[in-house]
Amino acid sequence: MPQEVSLCLFRILQESLRNAVKDSGVERFPVELCGIVPDIQLTVNDLGVGFDPQDIVARRGLGLVSMRERLQLVKGQISIKSRSGAGTTIHTHVSFSSSRDCEREAS
């Protein structure tokens, strides 16, 4: 896996867990990292208090903005699903070939 992809996913995981610990009200967070070359997916769940996604869009929390920006650099995608009282799921997808294309563009 390209280093920039692994670092991106590590930072996404770090921020997701930080947010979950701070805001979810629960102590366990299932994390799944899976993939078949050239794709990799990272999913972080919590079964906590959740939030209204429209509130977060309005507040533009730096953590979520940072996650989106990091994934844009490796041409990845992020999906954030949450409902008040029903927890939050953050799902990311990166294609290795996309990140190689990004490296070529930067050269």
Buried b (16+ CB within 10 A) or exposed e, 30-42: eeeeeeeeeebbb
Q: Hey, where are the domains in the chain?
A: 3-106
pTM greater than 0.85 (yes/no): no
Read off the pLDDT of residues 49-98 as tens digits, 9 standing for 90 and up. Answer: 988 766 665 565 668 888 999 999 999 999 989 888 889 999 999 997 74
Q: For residue 6, give both structure tokens.
A: 């692994």
Domain 3-106 has CATH 1.20.58.760: no
Read off the pLDDT of residues 13-33 as tens digits, 9 standing for 90 and up. Answer: 999 999 889 888 898 999 999
Rounded Cα distance between 70 and 79, Å, is 14
